Amino acid sequence: MDIITIIGLVAAGCTTTSFIPQAIKTIRTKNTSGISLAMYSLFALGTLLWLLFGIFSSNLPVSLANAVTLVFASIILVYKIKYR
Amino acid sequence: MDIITIIGLVAAGCTTTSFIPQAIKTIRTKNTSGISLAMYSLFALGTLLWLLFGIFSSNLPVSLANAVTLVFASIILVYKIKYR
């Protein structure tokens, strides 16, 4: 595996898993005052469209990464709507 | 342009621009109590690596999208460190 592919895989790992600590913090504290509703609305819509793009183009890495991100981004969005 | 490409472009537009309203909110309010430091540390590192991946693989859309996202994610990260 070449260095560019490794950089891409580590990059995907970082951006995909980064929403997990935010979701845990939001669930624990229910503090959503500093979180932007516009950001999570746009971001959840974007990851849903990325997931559809991945499924329609038979791209498993794109589908998997965005399925994981969509779960955690949706949790944060639901908490933001419920506890704003 | 086929429908799958259009879905991918709209997806990229949503996820890339979603950090702009969060950065504006964070700059205006300086309220970062609900924002996860771990999320923005991981996410900024991830977008930096995506940018390097895009540059090294001569992929202009990946480079451009992640350059934009990196700017706004870094602003939020700096505010989180400064005003936590």
What ipTM does the predicted assembly reach?
Answer: 0.92
Residue of B nearest to A63 (CA): B8
- The DSSP 8-state label assigned to residue A18 in this structure reads T
pLDDT of B84 > 90? The answer is: no
What residue segments make up the domains of chain B, in order of their start? 32-84
In this structure, chain A runs to a length of 84
Distance from CA of B39 to the nearest CA of A (A): 5
Closest chain A residue by Cα to residue B55: A4
Count of other CB atoms within 10 angstroms of residue A27: 11
Taking residues A74-82, what's their average pLDDT? 98
B32-84: which CATH number, 1.20.1280.290, 3.40.50.410, 3.50.50.60, 3.40.50.10420? 1.20.1280.290
pLDDT the model gives residue A84 = 82
* A47 and B CB contact within 8 Å: yes
* Mean per-residue pLDDT, A23-42: 98
Residue pair B27/B75 in contact (Cβ under 8 Å)? The answer is yes
Question: Which residues on chain B are in Cβ contact (under 8 Å) with A52?
Answer: 7, 11
- Report residue A1's pLDDT band, with 50, 70 and 90 as the boundaries: confident
Look at the block and give the residue holding tokens 């890495």: A61
**Distance separating alpha carbons of residues B78 and B84, to the nearest angstrom:** 10
Spatial distance between the Cα atoms of B52 and A7, rounded to a whole number of angstroms: 8
**The whole model's pTM is what?**
0.93
Residue A20 neighbours by CB distance under 10 Å = 18
Q: Are A26 and B34 in contact (CB under 8 A)?
A: yes
B20 vs B75: CA distance, rounded Å: 10
Q: Residue B58 has what pLDDT?
A: 95
Give the type of residue at A64. Answer: L
Residue A47 makes CB contacts below 8 A (sequence gap 6+) with A66, A69, A70, A73, B11, B15
Q: How confident is the model at residue B12 (pLDDT cuts 50, 70, 90)?
A: very high
Signed CA dihedral, A39, A41, A45, A48: sign only: positive
Residue with tokens 């959503």: A32
Tens digits of per-residue pLDDT, B14-62? Answer: 999 999 999 999 999 999 999 999 999 999 999 999 999 999 999 999 9
Which of A34, A39, A52 lies at the smallest CB-CB distance from B34?
A: A34
